[in-house]
Amino acid sequence: MKFKHKKSKQRVKDMHPTIAMIMFLSSLWSEDRGLPFVVTETISTEKEDKAVNRKHKTHQDGRAFDFSIRGWTTDDMTDYFIDMNERYGHLGAVSKSTGKRSLVVFHGKGENLHGHVQVGRDVIEDQPYLTEY
C-alpha cells in the first residue's frame, strides 16, 4: 500500500479500526490483481475539507479514505465495487437521499476520478478515533 501524502499515512493510526481494516484489505485485493493502490486521503480537518469543497464529514470522523484509480479499468472498478460491497457493504455509510448503505463510491471527473470508501457513523459510535484534528 502506498500513500500520496505523508500526512495521510501518519493519520491512519487515528482512523477507526474498521475503515483501516477495509483499507488494508483493499490493498491486498488490488495487489492480488496486479493493480496499483495509492491512498490519497485519510483523516482531514474542517479547513482541509472546506478547501476542496467536501460536503460530508466522513474524513473528519476518521471513517473514510480515498484512493487513486489510476491504472484501473472500468471492469476493475466494477469488480472492486461488487466484491467490497458483498463483503462489507453492511458497514457502509447511510445515504441521506436513499436511506441505503453505501460503502464504495467512485466520484470526481477526469483526472480527479477516485474511489471513496466510507463506513457508517453508527459503525464508529462506540469506538471513536483518538485524536481531534
The predicted-structure confidence for 40-78, as pLDDT tens digits, reads as follows 999 988 898 888 877 787 887 889 999 999 999 999 999
Does 53 reside within a domain? yes
What is the CATH number for 108? 3.30.1380
List residues bridging with 114 in a β-sheet: 68, 107
Supply the DSSP symbol for 116. Answer: E
Does 130 reside within a domain? no
- The tally of domains found in the chain comes to 1
Residue 64 carries which side chain, given as an amino acid letter?
A
Q: Which domain holds residue 30?
A: 2-124
Beta carbons of 9 and 3 less than 8 angstroms apart: yes
Does 40 reside within a domain? yes
Q: What is the pLDDT along the chain (133 residues), one digit of tens a residue?
A: 999 999 999 999 889 999 999 999 999 999 999 999 999 999 988 898 888 877 787 887 889 999 999 999 999 999 999 999 999 999 999 888 888 998 999 987 777 789 999 999 888 876 655 555 4
Question: In this predicted structure, what is the pLDDT of residue 9?
Answer: 94
Does 78 reside within a domain? yes
Does 7 reside within a domain? yes
